[in-house]
Amino acid sequence: MRCEQPVRVEEPLIELLLERAAKKGQSLVQLAKEMGVSYQRLTQYRRGEARLSNARQTTVRNISIYLDMPVVLVMVLSGSLGLHELQWPGDAQRGRIQWALESMRHDPCVGPLMPSTLEQAPLDVQRFVLWLYGQYTAACNAGIDSAYQTRWTEILAQLNPFPAPQ
């Protein structure tokens, strides 16, 4: 019996496993063996009676090899590791963000355009601004043409309601 797509499953990792097995022409028994679990355990995962977020580390590693993806991505897809766990803890994150904003303020192209209230903005707004700044500096460091850089600074200047002192 070859692996057929069952009724849609809620767990994306199970869907990926079933799709890969179907592409390889493998049965569910073969898939279970690749995962290092019994056929019954795989059936429990498929039915939602057991969660892959509780799987043994060896099972996660076997899935990683089977799907050819990093273990950490398997953990995220299974729900055993959330993206929030990859962030710095609250106080450390705040300190790193404040340090990055201060560094950004010293940039001669962008610093004068930064609103003075950015340090009081919510963390998600600060992270977004730093992400945009990272995109800008990556483009500068990658040697993207100066027209692109000029457009960025013009856009930032238009967003700043207070012009830099002359």
pLDDT in tens, 1-57: 455 444 445 688 999 999 999 999 999 999 999 999 999 999 999 998 999 999 999
Same domain for 99 and 76: no
Residue-wise pLDDT tens digits, 65-92: 999 988 988 998 898 887 677 766 667 7
Provide the pLDDT for residue 6.
47
List all residues 6 or more positions away from 80 whose beta carbon is below 8 Å from its beta carbon.
52, 53, 54, 55, 60
Average pLDDT (124-150) is 72
Provide the pLDDT for residue 104.
92
Query: Has residue 163 got a pLDDT over 60?
Result: no
Provide the pLDDT for residue 121.
92
Task: Look at residues 82, 107, 137 and tell me which one is the last residue of a structural domain.
Answer: 82
Same domain for 101 and 58: no
The domain of 147 spans 90-159
